[in-house]
Amino acid sequence: MFFNPISYILEENVGTARLKQSLDVLFKHLEQHTCLKFEKADNVNTKEDYHTIRIKYRDPGWCGIEEKYVGILRNQTYHEINLSWYCLDNWYIGRVLMHVFGLPHEMNRPDRDDFIYIFTHDKMWDDAFDQLSVMNYEFDDFQRDPNIPTILPLSADINPINFGKNRKYKDLTHPDEFPFTKFDLYKLIMLICRPTITSIMKGSITTG
């Protein structure tokens, strides 16, 4: 069951102005283009009909979300996001938020083999495959051999070096640049909101 609004808690040591600014603009962007609403809280709301996201910052630390905190369409109403100094841009924070909401990586789609080839030996919906989705890994993530990619796109119109590199085209440290493609937002709406989506498919959503 999904409940609105979603509360979020910044731990006291989450003190970077850049992180707070990124969260503010990302939440506002999602509110503008989806049914999601957010409100800042000081403590975890223990009510069963309330979602809470705790945002933790550690330096040194790690970036990501544990599997148990993925997805809000179930009885799990408490979630934790872990961030550190090297993952404070809008792109990374946006991707982790999408995991909280229940979206998997784009290359986890069951039809992914129609679009990309995974070099497993070097690894460390009906809509078109979204090469710029925030839910993609980059072509060289987790590679063991720097000369061999871990992901190779199969479409001739996709430059392998650009695959998953949405950040390459945007300054995502800028508060007005957003990591989500219109298809990221469309999937989020279909997963959680399910309203009429005509305006989205006509391209009225802007993603920075």
List, for residues 176-204, the tens digit of each pLDDT value: 566 788 888 888 888 787 654 444 444 44
Is 65 found in the same domain as 116?
Answer: no
Is 181 found in the same domain as 121?
Answer: no
Give domain status of residue 118, yes or no.
Answer: yes
Give domain status of residue 208, yes or no.
Answer: no
51 phi and psi angles, rounded to 5 deg: -100, 135
Burial of residue 7 (CB within 10 Å: 0-12, 13-18, 19+) is buried
Choose the most confident range, by mean pLDDT, from 117-121, 142-146, 159-163, 198-202.
142-146
Q: 127, 117 in Cβ contact below 8 A?
A: no
- Give the domain CATH number at 94: 3.40.390
Structural domain including 114 reads: 105-169
Residue 83: closest CA among 110, 55, 45, 107 = 55
3-class DSSP assignment, residue 38: strand
Residue 133: closest CA among 87, 55, 188, 63 = 188
pLDDT, tens digit (0-9, with 9 covering 90-100), for 82-117: 988 888 888 889 999 999 988 888 888 878 889 888
Is 132 found in the same domain as 52?
Answer: no
**How many domains does the chain divide into?**
2
- Cα–Cα distance for residue pair 158/161, rounded to 1 Å: 9
Give domain status of residue 206, yes or no.
Answer: no
Give domain status of residue 1, yes or no.
Answer: no
Is 78 found in the same domain as 112?
Answer: no
Give domain status of residue 18, yes or no.
Answer: yes
Give domain status of residue 42, yes or no.
Answer: yes
Q: 150, 119 in Cβ contact below 8 A?
A: yes
Contacts of 203 (CB under 8 A, 6+ apart): 182
Q: Is the pTM higher than 0.75?
A: no
